Chain A
Amino acid sequence: MPDVSDFILKLQRRRIEGSHATARQTAELLRSVVSQTRMPYTNQAASLLDAVRAVGEQLIAANPVELAVGNIVRRVLHIIREEDLSSSAVSFEGLMISEKSDDEDDADQKGGPVLSAAAVAAAARSTLRPRSLQTLLEDGPLPAAPSKSSSAGDSEGKSKSDKSAVGKRLKHSVIEAINLLIEEIDDCYEDISEQAVEHIHQNEVILTLGRSKTVKEFLYAAKQKNRSFRVFVAEGAPRYQGHVLAKELIQKGLETTVITDSAIFAMISRVNMVIVGAHAIMANGGVIAPVGMNMLALAAQRHAVPFVVVAGSHKLCPLYPHNPEVLLNELKSPSDLIDFGEFSDCMDFGAHGGAPLMHVVNPTFDYVPPNLVSLFITDTGGHNAAHMYKLIADYYSADDLVIKRKSTSSN
């Protein structure tokens, strides 16, 4: 598939900036993957899962730091499981279950995030979970596929014509659901910024660092509700996206003060609330965020200033971080920090036994541990850091957490 390799190249070369764009494009790509997958007569869900997983593995490998890719791949896998479950449930005659799946379909159609998430979670808990647990015990690393095949096998046993209809319906409904997912990714700003007025009061002083579109929309929304407040923007070296944000904010008439990152500690004592965006939210409630955020969070904690992270649900990552400062980080070019021409003589590899005396470190991300975060605001409302794992369980199925090992074992 040409667009897959194209997208992989883009990811590898870091051409796609921001988790929102990445998430959206990943979802679109997976939609086309799903639609182009040839459906076999038997075991359709498993073949879909395999196809998506194979592509997903390559995408994740292309940019392992961009966690949104993995999130979306897992979301799509979860969607396939859910749809398969509901379609097979429909093919059964059990009244309770079909009702439940109708309910779930409705919720998905509406795209109401809270309801759908809750319903999906309920469905997953009532039907999927016991079976997958059982298979987990039986089959170890291959839990999902056999369960799917058994359910598909059941429906296959009924009649062939019925089965092919179910197959078409499965693919169709998966694509529908992915469309909803894309819609949800696009709409997350609105859902989040709707909550702005609940958190920003009159005359508030808000500090943010760098630029996040979510934060911008959040502040805009509060401004539109005629709250007047003041924003300090830390510029966020070395990308200086804070300048962009400041420019955007003043266009909406927000009173904005740009400060250097070094002045964060000095200014935070006069700030009522810190609102920042995130790169990804890990399952433990820790946040992967643009560099400098840990410093800001520590300063906020010191002065007991609420540290609020706003992020769309596509940034929720079901993985637990281990040594995230190093493993989920990316070192960029030193040219952001120093001038090559000026320091070229210091970077001479020949001079000091092969290793230069000077190293320049330019990391992209920071890890903010969950205890420093006061509140997460996602499109499903506000959450505590300790509650993130539960939220994540609603969006992902436990079988998909490890995509790579799964596919290597199946290959």
Chain B
Amino acid sequence: MDLRRPNRPVIGPKVRQVGFVTPDSAAATSSSSIPAVSAAAAASAGSPPSSLSPVMIPPPRHPSTEMSNPHFHPVGSYNPSEQILGSPPALSPSRSSRFDADGSDFGGDDDESVALSGVGGGMTPKSSLLMCQPVTKTAPLVSETRKRDSNASKGKGEGPSAAPKEKLTKAERRATQEAQRAAKAAAKEAAAAGGAPSVSKQPKPATKPATQQKKDIPSGSGPLQPLAPSGSIEKKQGKKEVAAPHPRMQFDDMTKVGKLKKRAVVNQSEARNRVELFRHLPQYEHGTQLPDLESKFFQLDLIHPSVYQVGLQFLSDKISGGNARCIAMLLAFKEVIQDYTTPPEKTLTRDLGAKVGSCVSFLIECRPLSVSMGNAIRFLKNRISSLPHNLSDKEAKSRLQSDIDRFINEKIIIASKAIVEHGVSKIRDGDVLLTYGSPSVVESIFAYAHGIKKNFRVVVVDSRPKHEGQGLLRRLVERGIHCTYTHLNAVSYVMHEVTRVFLGASSVLSNGTVYSRVGTACVAMVAHAFRVPVLVCCEAYKFHERVQLDSICSNELGDPDAISKVSGRKDLNYLDGWAQNENIQLLNLKYDATPSDYVSVLVTEQGMLPPTSVPVIIREYGIERLWT
């Protein structure tokens, strides 16, 4: 890693982009001209010529990737179909920059942006600093677009606020911009000097690239700036350094929690009896935020109503399940983009990114993001920042909206159809299939298998406190599928008759760990003990390069009161008033991590894989997935 670092500024994003912005044939020839790459690799790289061409070999995320590169190509070649779904060649130039941006942004979605959300992601101050030169050059263009905006945006959100500023002259505007930038830079430097020692958790890799970028970019980027979208340049710089996922927000870190509190929209009061083991997770009193938030509805001018609505639905658990939450969020963002108009002196890419960032941090306050949502946000932010500057607002917006639609369609809907087809092939007549909770993909597998007249029986295992299985049970019975319903404790009783276990997943981590609804690990363990194969069905967009060994380091805590009350059992009131006693804590975990050795096969749209192949999928399609 360190060896490579000095090279990068030299090769630099610009050099690569110059090479690739010229016709695509150049890429193809260059790839074939390098003998080191095997023929198979070249072939596999062929369809999107950029994806694996030697110059563009995706930067390794770990030092070890260099070693495994040979192994890397064959794996890519076994699914050429995926490449067709993949990015069109035209988008190739900034691919690598995208790659990096996701690394930095992703950390942002999860926690970092909570702290930094006000400025729309960690990179913004730097980018604004770097943008000094280009902005002056592109100023006419900006003003043009702004004019169009102001025309288009009558009566919409920012219209009134934008109107008075319109009267400034160009020079004045430039002056104010310069001043703002200077102020920001000064503030940033002050923060870097003063803040770093105090915030002990500050990740080392994140601080390094920042300093490096400052040095690199002014030197070479000046002339090339107009060619490349500026947003991607400095992100490209940070790429390898941010390879490891950002550390998550740790809620036992008082300084960070303090910062978070200051900008929080949702006022959550801390639960009184916090579980010691989970100090690092937010433990709020549930049910207190909702009325408060509702009353704030008319004050929250920053948050778009549709995001607000989705946030409330997350908060009150009206929408749950990885796919449902992800789709709801993306649709809300679509509306945000629909109603968005670029404020006068800003560019769409940056301002919209910031806006989305603030929406995301609002959603995080409502409920921590799932990995699937994090990946979707990563995708969206990349799309935003990679928009060409010369696009009109309207075009940009429609492009983003169609991007979102495509993401939902390809990564979620078509992917789950592909999973259904793979999954059904593993159902034989006479099977007894067990599932836990209410995974949406598994449900559609059962429905499809029933539709093609497979003869099987389903065991629905359920658990407290959400009883999601009851909904699944009802839907399956209505379809006419024979079902057995039981609770999690009885899983060893029913496992004797079960021939396959189908489970869903919230995400699959790089070490093969399946992070899913709490209790999934128990089911998988019992199935493993009874030698029953476990199939985990999960769309590839839920894969993540994070690793996790246990369910404690990162998790989500639900409402503890849900444990003390048992629905439909009025007689069980032993724990009423538990909050008064400091000796008792109720722990309502939401997720757990299933070790990879309990998983027989992962069913994804890429095919059926052993859990050990997860890092390969992430590396091969992680890039690609951001490009769709």
- Chain A residues within CB distance 8 Å of chain B: 235-238, 240, 243-244, 246-247, 249-250, 253-267, 269-270, 291-292, 294-295, 298-299, 302, 325, 329, 334, 337-339, 342-343, 346, 352, 357-363, 366
Contacts and interface: CB of A to CB of B under 8 A. Distances in A.
Contacts, number: 178
B interface secondary structure, majority: mixed
A329 B525 contact: no
A357 B482 contact: yes
B597 to A, nearest CB: 10
B34 to A, nearest CB: 48
9 contacts: A257-B275, A261-B522, A262-B488, A262-B589, A263-B519, A265-B522, A267-B551, A334-B485, A361-B493
A255 B518 CA distance: 24
A243 B572 contact: yes
Contacts of A264: 522
Contacts of B519: 260-263, 265
B583 A299 contact: no
A286 to B, nearest CB: 13
Interface string B478-491: 10111111111111
Contact of A269 (B464, B496, B550, B588): B550
Interface stretch (B168-176, B236-244, B337-345, B563-571): B563-571
B206 interface: no
On chain B, which size bracket covers the interface?
A: 35 or more
A275 B470 CA distance: 32
A243 B575 contact: yes
Contact of B474 (A294, A298, A346, A362): A346
Given A266-B593, A362-B487, 6 more contacts: A237-B489, A261-B464, A262-B519, A265-B521, A269-B550, A362-B490
A262 B518 contact: yes
Contact of B463 (A257, A261, A291): A261
A292 B488 contact: yes
B572 A325 contact: no
B487 A337 contact: yes
Contacts of A257: 275, 584-587
Given A237-B487, A361-B493, A362-B486, A266 B584 contact: no
B392 interface: no
A258 B489 contact: no
Given A260-B588, A269-B550, A338 B485 contact: yes
Nearest to A325: B493
A260 B572 CA distance: 15
A262 B496 contact: no
Contacts of B568: 339
The 4 closest A-B pairs by CB, nearest first: A262-B519, A292-B489, A266-B551, A294-B492
B277 interface: yes
A325 B8 CA distance: 64
A325 B496 contact: yes
B555 interface: yes
B465 A260 contact: yes
Q: Which of B464, B493, B584, B587 has the most CB of A within 10 A?
A: B493
Contacts of A236: 489
Interface in B427-480: 462-465, 470, 473-474, 477-478, 480
A370 to B, nearest CB: 15
A235 B464 contact: yes
